[in-house]
Structure 1
Amino acid sequence: MFKKLQGSFCWKLALSVLSLSAVSCGPLNLEDVTYGITLRDTKEKFNIFTDGSVATNIEQLEDGSVSWVTTAAGGAGGGVAFYVKGNKEEINIENYESIDLEMDYSVVEDKWSAEAMNPSFCMRILPWDSTGMFGGYEDLEYFDTSSNSGSLTYNIKIPSDFSEKLKSSSDFDSVLGFAIKFNDYNRGNNDGDELKVQLKNIKFNPKKDAAEDKAFDDGLTDSQRGTVVEINYPTRDYTVNEADLTDADRYEKHAWVYLPAGYDASDKETEYPLFVLIHGFGQNENTWGLSNKGRGGKIKGYMDRGMANGSVEKFVLVVATGVASKNWGPNGLGTDIDGFYAFKGELRDDLIPYVRANFNIKEGRDNVALSGLSMGGGQTFTIGILECLDLISNFAGLSPALFVEPADFKATIEGNKDFDGLMIHNLYMTTGDADTLILEKYPAFVEAMRDWDRIENFKDYIFPGGTHDFPVWYKGFNDFIQMVFKNKNAEVVLPDIDAESSDDAEISVDAENPVEAEDSADDENSD
């Protein structure tokens, strides 16, 4: 009844093949540095965001420039991230009008498709809560080159509303860094095409009479911030028949866990709902950017602020790899299709039981939520709802890969006697209106879900200008936690951080109606 994901579609969903690369960047004498970053007439060597850079052969050269090799990966060619300041402090982007860029680039011989367009790049801005290329960002500008190898000098204008755009997703205009990303999205590249890049100079040009950059302060105290811990839970390769398992098929698997502010392991009387978050094809548990380093990533900021201002009930989040085979990692490529399909066993029998046994988690399916992006969104439906509805009642599909027709999907649930009387408490769906990978099936599926009386609370949102990329999914994550973990006892009204000047964020949230503003947006944007 249900078709498995075909190979021709797999590479399209390979949004980011995550690999943390070794960086050669020994100490440099700044007097000898020819190239680097200039900010307010101060020039420094580049400071590489090592944990967040998605490229290979990253090297800081003696002249101060940085070179790397980036590889086409179904739209997520990757690149290198940098701090704007050597001391890792932020700047306020509203104080700047443009960025000058100078770099060389060349296609790697015998590793460039003849059908590919000339290389294209993106200047990506990393807000205060970023953990790198995919841990929180806003794309500033995409720009093309005129030949497949050469030098590029380019001035990138910062739109007048860009600071508001950052605020709409991060609440502040504080910028921690930037990234240069190879743009291989719909440009004729084959996966594996390689491009060598040498970044020479970056200059942030301040506005006339611009104010000094202010030190970052999100207004939260340390006691209001949650913590991020790592777990390694016992599991096995679920693509192998149980009778054929060997010692090599059993292992401990890494995941990230967010614990809300005030969490006390010894306080067994205080329990929390559980939210399981998974990734897409070509990704792993690190891709969402949740980390115990720096400020922890964009989604940690959403949770910290929502819980601190009282709009969001405190919950525990686990971010895991949805590949239930030996190919999960560590730091795996997330391309094992059989491992994706086998995740049911791991989710039911290993991950959720481990988290319940080791953290203070509320009982009951209404206290469990599951969400994923792209391939993980598909798993949310075909594994979470179709196979685990007795364990979970809250779901979000973020640009979900839809492997089943809606009529078949509903008939399977209705025909499962084990699920008789089990309601879907919350279902949220989102995608971008420019997401060519999802839009063919998405509208019909949304309409089928909207009309299904088994769903108690359904919301969907079309992201204006959104492609198959993280800005859509960050917003979807934040919308979902406001929807599912709404603090019903709070009498607060959140500030309208989705300013009218922002192009990408449309939902104004308050404690009583966390996603109410979506309704009108849905009517205008849904097909």
Structure 2
Amino acid sequence: MKQLQLFLVIGALLGGFSFTNAQQTIKEDFQPSTLNQPGQEYPQVNSQGYARFKIMAPAADSVKVSLGLGGRGGTILHKNADGSWTGTTEGPMDEGFHYYHLTIDGGIFNDPGTLNFYGSTRWESGIEIPAHDQEFYALKDVPHGQVHKILFPSKVTNTSAVAYVYTPPGYAKDQSKRYPVLYLQHGWGEDETAWSNQGHANLIMDNLIAEGKSEPFLIVMTYGMTNEIKFGGLKTFDITPFQTKLVDELIPYVDSNFRTIADREHRAMGGLSMGGMETKMITLNKPNTFSHYALLSGGVYTPEDIKDQSGIQLIFLSCGSKERPERIKSATSALKNTGVNVVSYISEGTAHEFQTWRRSLKELAPLLFIN
């Protein structure tokens, strides 16, 4: 458990930017990031993955762009005669989505040029580095599902708790059809909006279903930090409140209010980072609730963890190639030797970040509910 905690904390999803090591001549083909506010020219990205920032702060003495928790490290911006501050990352960044914020004279601020996303327990600025494989989560002219915001009664939180439910294309038309469900958890410092906003889970599913690569199913996303665990405090995490919220409150509500196939064989749970840790704990504690397990940069299962294989249809393990792929490969081999249906996936060229998890969902979805 200590190893899992260290793994999750070191790679924490706050992590900001991950640079490649190669030094190269920077191409001046910068374009505004796709996540910019309407009409805003900065931040910008180029074809190599460099990012360039411009901030108006005429009274400031120092401005930098954060690369991680608390603004440690980062890209130092330089002041221009007009009071603006500009700077370019030292190296190209990994493909996909990244959180960041500004540190101006010691204070932390968001970049007014870009949209905000909930991560690291606050609303952070976001930037998107175009990926060579971005078509799988692109908005295309295909039938689209819907993402519903629901409120469900929760004694654990002593209020109405929030969840988002993705229903696949055609859900509203055929009132006789029922669907399997994937309960999908976010990482530390995020909330129930992460998989839709940062992860594009709905678009990934729309595209896979349109291409005939995945069975249609519901995805349910809810807030998993019931204990309000602070960064670095995973050793004090108690799964019981969230487990009760999910298994005893949310699942019955979803089964009562959506057309689900309400049995273990048609119910999956997965999560990224800390959500993977929650997934492992709950699936082992409640073996009769889920039949498909998925840990995305969230640790591994071992043969010793699996007391009874009979109800497990799939275990899916993934991470980025810049994380600990050897651990995923070793666990996969060990589980296969015991007869478990296990599939692993390594996202090439990415770390503990959303491009890893977008790709992981793309690989996971076609494997679910096919037996």
TM-score (norm 1): 0.49
Contact in 2 for aligned 1:433/1:463 (Cα 8 Å): yes
Determine the structure 1 residue equivalent to 2:141: 219
Determine the structure 1 residue equivalent to 2:103: none
Unaligned runs of 5+ in 2: 17-29, 44-52, 76-84, 98-114, 120-124
Equivalent of 2:135, from 170, 191, 194? 170
Q: Does 1:461 align with 2:345?
A: yes
Q: Does 1:304 align with 2:214?
A: no
Determine the structure 2 residue equivalent to 1:319: 221
Q: Please give the alpha-carbon distance, in whole angstroms, between the structure 2 residues aligned to 1:62 and 1:374.
A: 36
Deviation at 1:469, TM superposition (A): 1.9
Greater alpha carbon shift after TM alignment, 372-381 vs 470-479: 372-381
Contact in 2 for aligned 1:14/1:76 (Cα 8 Å): no
Q: Please give the alpha-carbon distance, in whole angstroms, between the structure 1 residues aligned to 2:213 and 2:366.
A: 7
1:482–1:462 distance in 2 versus 1, CA, 3 Å = same
Deviation at 1:276, TM superposition (A): 0.6
Determine the structure 2 residue equivalent to 1:29: none
Equivalent of 2:69, from 69, 73, 78? 73
Equivalent of 2:335, from 449, 457, 478? 449
Deviation at 1:441, TM superposition (A): 4.0
SS in 1 for 2:344: strand
SS in 2 for 1:431: strand
1:229–1:336 distance in 2 versus 1, CA, 3 Å = farther
Q: CA RMSD in A?
A: 4.3
Deviation at 1:265, TM superposition (A): 8.7
Deviation at 1:466, TM superposition (A): 2.9
Q: Does 1:250 align with 2:152?
A: no
Deviation at 1:321, TM superposition (A): 2.0
Q: Which portions of structure 1, spanning 4 or more consecutive aligned residues, are displaced by more than 6 angstroms?
A: 36-39, 74-79, 124-127, 131-138, 333-336
1:379–1:260 distance in 2 versus 1, CA, 3 Å = same
1:60–1:448 distance in 2 versus 1, CA, 3 Å = same
- Aligned residue type for 1:460: S
Determine the structure 1 residue equivalent to 2:248: 349
SS in 2 for 1:382: helix
Determine the structure 2 residue equivalent to 1:15: 13
Q: What are the residue-to-residue correspondences of 1:172-191 with 2, within 5 Å?
A: none
Bigger radius of gyration among the two: 1
- Aligned residue type for 2:68: A
Q: Please give the alpha-carbon distance, in whole angstroms, between the structure 1 residues aligned to 2:178 and 2:67.
A: 45
Deviations 1:129-177 (A, max 9, x none): xx8778998646xxxxxxxxxxxxxxxxxxxxxxxx53x34249x8xxx
Equivalent of 2:362, from 471, 478, 500? 478
TM-score (norm 2): 0.68
1:236–1:74 distance in 2 versus 1, CA, 3 Å = farther
Q: Please give the alpha-carbon distance, in whole angstroms, between the structure 1 residues aligned to 2:336 and 2:187.
A: 24
- Aligned residue type for 1:393: S
Contact in 2 for aligned 1:228/1:256 (Cα 8 Å): yes
Contact in 2 for aligned 1:16/1:78 (Cα 8 Å): no
Contact in 2 for aligned 1:389/1:422 (Cα 8 Å): no
Q: Percent identity?
A: 25
Deviations 1:296-317 (A, max 9, x none): 9622111111222333222111
Determine the structure 1 residue equivalent to 2:169: 261
Determine the structure 2 residue equivalent to 1:360: 259
SS in 2 for 1:408: coil
Unaligned runs of 5+ in 1: 19-35, 50-57, 80-101, 106-118, 141-164, 175-216, 238-248, 415-420, 489-527
Contact in 2 for aligned 1:124/1:137 (Cα 8 Å): no
SS in 2 for 1:370: strand
Determine the structure 2 residue equivalent to 1:233: 152
SS in 1 for 2:331: helix
Q: Does 1:383 align with 2:291?
A: no
1:379–1:307 distance in 2 versus 1, CA, 3 Å = same
Deviations 1:391-439 (A, max 9, x none): 110111112234x7x25313xx24xxxxxx732101111122321xx45
Contact in 2 for aligned 1:126/1:132 (Cα 8 Å): no
Q: Please give the alpha-carbon distance, in whole angstroms, between the structure 2 residues aligned to 1:231 and 1:353.
A: 13
Determine the structure 2 residue equivalent to 1:494: none
